[in-house]
């Protein structure tokens, strides 16, 4: 398991608070770019809810049933394929890595897969960047700022640098 420590990982935490891709204050402004994505991963409940509101379905959606630490129940998840992973806040567990890898393998069939995380999914963006194909687009919410859209090919080195700074347990 990889863990962030508030004292030991101050620089990494500060870096993670910045958008890793292009920030869209309004979700609607990103729709054309989302629709043109070859392979789409969404991380976060608000992002997943916004996608499904516009009848856009990611290849993989990662949720934890929380929006800004408040419970959120999805009225409708457009996926028959729901995988589960355990991942406490501030961590990236082996279970999360393995579940993302499994979802990436399975999603080649063209079906939507949802990973429901018990704990917190915030840091799932990093293993997604490292494991997904370079053509992949990842979406996640930047709290109180908007939607972040990133292209995996642009961030593999940065994601690895951030991961390398985590504490291994």
Which residue's entry shows tokens 């408040």?
Answer: 70
The string of pLDDT tens digits covering residues 64-118 is 986 655 555 555 555 568 999 999 999 999 999 999 999 999 988 778 899 999 9
- Parse the chain into domains and list their residue ranges: 2-168
pTM: 0.92
Which residues, other chains included, contact 66 with Cβ-Cβ below 8 Å and sequence gap of 6+?
Answer: 45, 72, 120
What tokens were used for 151?
Answer: 């292209």
Q: Is the dihedral of CA 4, 74, 26, 28 positive or negative?
A: positive
């Amino acid at each position: 398991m990889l863990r962030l420590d508030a004292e030991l990982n101050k620089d990494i935490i500060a870096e993670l608070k910045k958008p890793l891709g292009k920030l869209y204050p309004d979700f609607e402004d990103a729709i054309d770019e989302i629709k043109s994505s070859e392979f789409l991963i969404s991380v976060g409940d608000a992002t997943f809810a916004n996608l499904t509101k516009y009848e856009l379905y990611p290849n993989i959606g990662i949720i934890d049933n929380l929006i800004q630490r408040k419970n959120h129940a999805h009225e409708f998840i457009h996926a028959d394929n729901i995988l589960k992973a355990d991942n406490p806040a501030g961590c990236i567990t082996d279970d999360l890595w393995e579940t993302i890898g499994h979802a990436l393998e399975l999603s080649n069939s063209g079906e939507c897969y949802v990973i429901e995380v018990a704990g917190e999914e915030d840091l799932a963006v990093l293993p997604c960047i490292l494991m997904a194909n370079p053509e992949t687009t990842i979406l996640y919410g930047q709290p109180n700022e908007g939607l972040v859209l990133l292209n995996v090919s642009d961030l593999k080195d940065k994601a690895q640098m951030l991961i390398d700074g985590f504490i291994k347990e």
